C-alpha cells in the first residue's frame, strides 16, 4: 500500500484522472481518498486498464445515471458533492462519459475568487511597492522572498486553472475556441472598438443590427472582444444575440447552430460570452435565440448577479482602503504616495461602481421590455 499527497488535485482535475489511470496500468489501484488531508491511498495488484472521472454533483440521486452504469461506470469514492467514478475499460473504447458541466462551473468559481484576490493584491500591495521601488531607484526590493513566493504561487494557480479548463472543454468537444472565420472579404475593412459591452449587451446587439442596416457586415471579432471588423456591402437585416453562460452545456453550441444561428465570437476568459447572428428577410419578425420572455429576464438577472458578486467585494475593499488612507492624512500629510493611492482608489471605485450600475440598468431595461 502506498500513499500520495496531492494538495491541489481539484485545480487540475483532468491531469489527476490521467495520473490515476497511469497508476492503475503500473499495478497501483486506488483504494480511497482522504479529501481532508488530500492523500490518495493505493493498493498494489495486477496492472490493468482503468479510466477515471471526477464529478461534482449536488443532486440526491448522484451522478451515476442508468446510461453510465450500462456503459461500465462505477463509483470509486465520494466526499460531499465530489465523486470519483471509474471504468475498467480504456478511454478510447468508452462511448459515454460523465458530464463535465458542474466540474467546470466549480472551477470557474475558484477562478473568480482567485481573480478577485489577484486584483486586490495588485492594487493594494504590488503597485504601491513598485512605485516606491521606482522612487528609490531599487527594483530589487520587489524580489523580496515573500513577494517572489506570492507572485509564483498566483502564476502557478492561474496556469493550473486555465489549463485544466481548456483541456476539459476540449474533452467535451468544445471546438469553439478555434472558430473558422474564413478568408476576409475584399476591400479595406472598417474596424470599430467597443469597450465594456458585456455590461450593456442589449446596446451592443442594437449597434450591430444598425451597422448591418447601413451596409456594414460584421465578419470578425478580436479574441478579447474589443475590436470588430466590418466589410462594406448591401444593407441587410440581421438579428444579433449576445449570450452569457457561466458554463455552457456540451450541446449548447450545436443546438443553436442547428437552428441557423452563426457563432461569431466566444470569449476565453472567466465569462463565457457568445455573439450569435442570423439573417432574416424583410417583412418577417426578427428571430430570437430564446423565445421565452421569462428566460430572457432570468438571463439578464444572471448577468447582473454574477458581475455584482464579482465586483461588489472589490468595491467594498477599495472603499475601506480609501477611508483608511484619508484617515491617515493628518499624520502623513499629502505626500506623493498619498495622492497616488487616493486617485487610484477613486478611479477603481468609479470604474467598479459604474459597471454594477450599468448591468443593473440592463436588467431593468429587460424587465421593462418583458412587461414585469
Identify the sign of the CA torsion 188, 264, 113, 20. Answer: negative
The answer to whether residue 46 scores a pLDDT higher than 80 is yes
Q: Which cell goes with 45?
A: 495488484
Count other C-beta atoms under 10 Å from residue 299's C-beta.
19
**pLDDT band at 328, cuts 50/70/90?**
low
Asked whether 198 and 271 are in contact (CB, 8 A), the reply is yes
pLDDT in tens, 101-113: 778 778 878 888 8
As a whole number of Å, the CA-based R_g of the chain is 25
Q: pLDDT value at position 4? A: 94
pLDDT in tens, 165-210: 777 765 654 444 444 444 567 778 899 999 889 889 999 999 999 9
How many C-alpha atoms does 339 have within 13 Å on its Cβ side?
A: 3
The answer to whether residue 99 scores a pLDDT higher than 90 is no
In angstroms, rounded to a whole number, what is the distance separating the alpha carbons of residues 337 and 339?
Answer: 5
CB-based burial of residue 118 (10 Å sphere; 0-12 exposed, 13-18 middle, 19+ buried)?
middle
Q: pLDDT value at position 28? A: 94
Q: pLDDT value at position 2? A: 93
Q: Which cell goes with 69?
A: 452504469
**pLDDT band at 130, cuts 50/70/90?**
low
Give SS3 for 174: coil
In angstroms, rounded to a whole number, what is the distance separating the alpha carbons of residues 208 and 29?
Answer: 56
In angstroms, rounded to a whole number, what is the distance separating the alpha carbons of residues 276 and 243?
Answer: 8
Q: pLDDT value at position 155? A: 86
In angstroms, rounded to a whole number, what is the distance separating the alpha carbons of residues 364 and 301?
Answer: 9
The answer to whether residue 222 scores a pLDDT higher than 90 is no
The answer to whether residue 7 scores a pLDDT higher than 50 is yes
> When comparing pLDDT for 328 and 190, which is higher?
190
Q: Which cell goes with 179?
A: 472558430
Measured CA to CA in angstroms, residue 225 lies from 106, 193, 272, 355, 362 at distances of 25, 9, 12, 17, 19
In angstroms, rounded to a whole number, what is the distance separating the alpha carbons of residues 93 and 353?
Answer: 52
Q: pLDDT value at position 136? A: 59
Report, in this order, helix, strand and coil percent for the chain, each rounded to 5.
Answer: 50, 20, 30
In angstroms, rounded to a whole number, what is the distance separating the alpha carbons of residues 367 and 360?
Answer: 10
Q: pLDDT value at position 278? A: 93
Q: pLDDT value at position 277? A: 92
**pLDDT band at 344, cuts 50/70/90?**
confident
Asked whether 89 and 51 are in contact (CB, 8 A), the reply is yes
The answer to whether residue 315 scores a pLDDT higher than 50 is yes
In angstroms, rounded to a whole number, what is the distance separating the alpha carbons of residues 188 and 198?
Answer: 28
Amino acid at each position: 500500500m502506498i500513499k500520495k499527497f496531492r494538495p491541489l488535485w481539484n485545480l487540475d482535475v483532468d491531469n489527476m484522472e490521467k495520473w490515476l489511470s497511469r497508476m492503475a496500468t503500473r499495478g497501483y489501484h486506488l483504494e480511497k481518498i482522504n479529501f481532508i488531508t488530500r492523500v490518495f491511498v493505493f493498493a498494489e495488484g495486477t496492472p490493468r486498464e482503468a479510466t477515471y472521472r471526477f464529478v461534482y454533483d449536488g443532486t440526491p440521486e448522484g451522478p451515476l445515471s442508468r446510461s453510465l452504469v450500462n456503459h461500465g461506470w462505477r463509483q470509486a469514492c465520494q466526499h460531499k458533492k465530489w465523486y470519483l467514478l471509474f471504468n475498467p475499460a480504456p478511454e478510447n473504447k468508452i462511448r459515454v462519459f460523465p458530464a463535465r458541466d458542474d466540474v467546470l462551473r466549480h472551477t470557474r468559481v475558484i477562478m473568480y475568487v482567485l481573480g478577485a484576490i489577484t486584483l486586490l493584491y495588485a492594487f493594494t500591495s504590488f503597485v504601491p511597492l513598485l512605485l516606491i521601488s521606482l522612487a528609490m531607484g531599487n527594483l530589487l526590493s520587489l524580489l523580496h522572498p515573500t513577494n517572489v513566493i506570492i507572485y509564483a504561487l498566483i502564476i502557478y494557480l492561474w496556469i493550473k486553472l486555465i489549463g485544466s479548463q481548456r483541456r476539459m472543454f476540449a474533452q467535451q468537444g468544445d471546438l469553439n475556441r478555434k472558430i473558422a472565420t474564413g478568408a476576409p472579404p475584399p476591400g479595406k475593412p472598417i474596424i470599430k472598438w467597443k469597450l465594456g459591452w458585456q455590461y450593456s449587451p442589449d446596446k451592443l446587439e442594437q449597434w450591430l443590427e444598425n451597422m448591418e442596416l447601413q451596409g456594414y457586415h460584421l465578419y470578425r471579432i478580436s479574441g478579447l472582444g474589443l475590436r470588430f471588423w466590418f466589410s462594406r456591402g448591401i444593407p441587410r437585416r440581421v438579428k444579433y444575440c449576445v449570450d452569457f453562460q457561466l458554463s455552457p452545456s456540451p450541446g449548447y453550441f450545436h443546438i443553436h447552430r442547428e437552428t441557423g444561428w452563426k457563432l461569431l465570437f466566444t470569449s476565453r476568459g472567466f465569462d463565457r460570452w457568445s455573439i450569435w447572428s442570423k439573417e432574416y428577410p424583410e417583412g418577417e419578425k426578427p428571430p430570437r435565440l430564446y423565445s421565452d420572455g421569462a428566460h430572457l429576464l432570468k438571463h439578464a438577472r444572471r448577468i447582473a448577479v454574477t458581475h455584482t458578486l464579482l465586483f461588489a467585494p472589490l468595491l467594498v475593499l477599495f472603499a475601506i482602503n480609501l477611508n483608511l488612507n484619508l484617515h491617515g492624512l493628518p499624520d502623513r500629510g499629502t505626500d506623493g504616495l498619498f495622492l497616488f493611492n487616493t486617485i487610484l482608489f477613486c478611479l477603481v471605485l468609479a470604474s467598479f461602481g459604474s459597471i454594477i450600475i450599468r448591468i443593473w440598468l440592463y436588467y431593468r431595461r429587460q424587465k421593462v421590455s418583458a412587461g414585469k
